[in-house]
Structure 1
Amino acid sequence: MAPVHERPGLFISEHLLRSARAAVVAAGPEVARLARRDAISRRDLTVTSDAQKVTLGIIAVYVVVIAILWNVPYVRWSLWPFKMLVIAFHEFGHAITACCTGGRVKSISLDPREGGVTHMVGGKSAITLPAGYLGSSLIGALLIFCGFDIVASKIASLVLGVCFLLTLWWGKRDWLTIVTILLAVGLLVAFWFIAHAEPLRFLVLFIGVMSSLYSVWDICDDLILRKVNSSDASVFAERYGGSSQCWGVIWSIISVCFMAAGIIAGIAAFPQSFAQQEEDSKNFIPTL
């Protein structure tokens, strides 16, 4: 009787063995494909295309140029139009978080010397106070990310236009705010029509780097160099404890992390060459 019970077991074992062997052979090409795909995924963060190399080089140049122009007397006024834009981002961060936390925006005013002011009623100050710096740095990181690709820059410019118009809607009716925002929108529109919007990519990239650096430098300028007591960080410290310098450093570190994340995400998402980007741009809201 024993051999009779062993034979079915042996038959089943051999059958399972053959089935397993067949499954391994059949899965071989698929495993190889997945391995190749994983290898490709790991290589996504390597800089391979000329477009990526040029973009990283331009970011480095922007960082150096902005840092120099920001601190040189008189020459620093050449950054005035772009500084007004990033101040608008800063105030937009306050405004949008106020609306999201149950508050209401009364007005926004922009000034290249004194900065911006957002007058609001209600909202949660624990969120709205850091949202100016962190909001502008987050917007900057997203713009840097989009600056790696022409089509993404087109999409970013559309969103920027909406943000600017919202700021204008909330804005205090002073000529500086109105003129700055209208010039910004006009500049974005004009760059759409140059070489299939290729220059738009570098404009978006510049605004992104400027916005990311503004959040860091403005905190340093206010809290370390000029000791301004009316900054967002000082108000936050008065209400929730800690020192303004401490909160300023924390927000600066977060801003730098946002910028680094934007660069890494741009490298991973947009490996296309200049020619591929131009071809894609021709198929997305094409212009002459």
Structure 2
Amino acid sequence: MAPSYTTFSNDNSDSYLGTLFARSPSTHLQTRSLSVNSTQKVTLGIIVAYVVLIALLWNIPYIRGVLYPFKMLVIAFHEFSHAITSLLTGGKVESISLDPREGGVTKMRGGVSAITLPAGYLGSSLIGALLIFCGFDIVASKVASFVLAACFLLTLWWGKKDWLTISTILAAVGLLVACWFIAHAEALRFVVLFIGVMSALYSVWDICDDLILRKVNSSDASQFAKRYGGSSHCWGIIWSVVSLALMILSIIAGIAAFHESWKQQEKDSEGFIPTL
């Protein structure tokens, strides 16, 4: 996802693309450094705060409903990952429906189940990791918002018969559009980061809910274990470890790639599809 921002240049010599390629070799070396500057420290602090906040809200009865709108988005990523891998492996997607309490359902025919079953959790974790990476920079977050909108609208096409799916996706697209016009899309960065953190850790929390707390027998891990052997708990743990690894790698990559200060990010954002 990150390299995509290089395709959105304009004729302004001060554009983000021009700035990127105008950097000296020493600057490129600094970009790959893992030293953390003040801007990145704030971003890391926000990521930690998001993890704690989401973990608390996810598990506290009665107030967990606060997370439902964002949980719906993450479930959409989960179901989108099932759907897209089904198409890529020769299957057909019939419909998608979302439910913040019970999760989503993707009705498919055909495809390779060895890929489509784990794709829900691993796909949403990969999307979350990419969003966290983009959340370190405003311009990268702008690019991520285009990809997010495309994923949401495709999910909307598959879930066009489900009113909850329709309302959730339209609200999400509306939120992304609104954030574009707040402080040159600075607000968009924090929304992308929040969705990324929640999506990256969704498999960990949801697998814990399904296999440990509620012991749901129809989870993706349970179905995978029935078809390919092993235990659902084992597969759930493996997928959770992969999800955590992807999140850690995305943070390291974000630190290495985006060293710009707040002011520089705002300046770059002004030259990349300018916003108010």
Structure 1 residues 87-129: Cα deviation after superposition (integer angstroms, max 9, x where no partner): 0000001000000000110000000111000000100000000
User: Which position in structure 1 is the counterpart of 2:102?
Assistant: 114
1:236 aligns with 2:230: no
Distance between the aligned counterparts of 1:184 and 1:66, measured in 2? 18
Distance 2:185 2:29 in 1: 33
Q: Does 1:59 align with 2:16?
A: no
CA distance in structure 2 between the aligned counterparts of 1:39 and 1:188, rounded to whole angstroms: 33
- The count of corresponding residues between Structure 1 and Structure 2 is 253
Pick from 193, 198, 203 the counterpart of residue 186 of structure 2. Answer: 198
Q: Deviations over 1:211-262 (max 9, x none)?
A: 0111110011101111100000000000000000000000000000000011
Q: Describe the superposition over 1:24-61 as per-residue Cα deviations: whole angstroms up to 9, x where unpaired.
A: xxxxxxxxx99x789747x711102x210110000000
Q: Aligned equivalents of 1:73 and 1:243: distance in 2?
A: 29
TM-score, normalised by the number of residues in structure 1: 0.85
Question: CA 1:276 to 1:131, structure 2 compared with 1: closer, same or farther past 3 Å?
Answer: same
TM alignment of 1:90-109, pairs within 5 A:
90-109=78-97
The answer on 1:261 being equivalent to 2:249 is yes
Q: Which has the larger radius of gyration?
A: 1
Does 1 or 2 have the higher relative contact order (CA < 8 Å, sep 6+)? 2
- Residue of structure 2 in register with 1:189 after alignment: 177
TM-score by length of 2: 0.89
Which of these residues, 195, 207, 214, is aligned with residue 207 of structure 1? Answer: 195
Corresponding letter in the other structure for 2:33: D
Aligned residue number for residue 206 of structure 2? 218
Measure how far apart 1:69 and its partner are. 0.4
Q: Which has the higher helix share?
A: 1
Which residue pairs with 1:149 in the alignment? 137
User: Aligned equivalents of 2:78 and 2:138: distance in 1?
Assistant: 25
SS of 2:101 mapped into structure 1: coil
Q: Which residue of structure 2 lines up, in the alignment, with residue 46 of structure 1?
A: 35
Change (3 A) 1:174 1:40: closer
**C-alpha separation in 2, matches of 1:39 and 1:225:** 47
Cα distance in 2 for residues equivalent to 1:149 and 1:163:
21
The answer on 1:124 being equivalent to 2:105 is no
- Mapped to 2, the partners of 1:170 and 1:84 lie a distance apart of 15
Deviation at 1:62, TM superposition (A): 0.2
Residues 1:136 and 2:127 are matched in the alignment: no
